[in-house]
Amino acid sequence: ALVLMENFEDHDDVQNVYTNLDIPDQLMEELSGQ
């Protein structure tokens, strides 16, 4: 799901991307460290 969101954000025609994913803070820290 995160890859899909990143692809939407990178697309030129998409201006805003919203999600209601409930991602734990620990997981977000691990993913942003990659």
pLDDT at residue 14 in the model: 67
Q: Could you read off the pLDDT of 4-27 as tens digits, one per residue? A: 878 777 777 767 777 777 888 888
Q: Contact at 8 Å (CB) between 14 and 23?
A: no
Its pTM stands at 0.35
How many degrees, rounded to 5, is the angle at CA 28 between CA 8 and CA 7?
10
Cα dihedral across residues 5, 8, 32, 29: positive or negative: negative
